[in-house]
Structure 1
Amino acid sequence: MKKILFVASALLALVACKEDNENSFTVSGKITNGSGKIVYLEEVPIGTMRPVIVDSAALNSDGTFKIETETGESAIYNVRLDQGMYPVASVINDQPAVELDVVMNKENNQFSEKYEVKGSPASEKMKTFMFAFNEKLQNVYAQATKIDSLHQLNKPDSVIAPLLQARAEGSSYLRDLTLSEIKKSDNAALTMFILGYYQSSASNPAVGLEPLSNDEVNATVADIVKKNPSHSGLANLQKDLKAQMDNAGKGNLVGKPAPEFTMPDVNGRPVALSSFKGKYVLVDFWASWCKPCRMENPNVVAAYNKFKDKNFTVLGVSLDQSKEPWLKAIKTDKLDWPQLSDLKFWESPVVALYGFEGIPFNVLLDPEGKIIAQGLRGADLEGKLTELLK
Structure 2
Amino acid sequence: MRLLHLLLFLLISCQLLWGQKNVKLKIHLEGIHKEVFNIHFYDGLVQDFIDASQKDTLMQLERLTYTPYPRILISYKGKYYNYLINKQTSTINIHYDSSKADFPFYSDQSEDITPIYDTVSSPIFRKLRSDLKTEYLQLTELWSKHGSEIRTNDSVKFVLRELTKEMNSKTMEVLTSYPNDFFSFLYFKEQVLIPTLSVEDDSEYYNNLLAYYNRTFPSEFRLTDEGKQIVKDMEQKITPVFIKEGEMMPDIYFKDIYGDTIFFKNQQESFVLLDFWASWCGPCLAQIPDIRLLRNTFSEDLLKIVGISIDSDSVSFLKSIKENEMSWVHSFDRGGILSGSLGFTSIPRIVLLDRNGKIVYYKHGGRIDMQKINAILRED
TM-score range, shorter chain: 0.3 to 0.5
Greater Rg by CA: 2
Name the TM-score, length of structure 1 as normaliser. 0.43
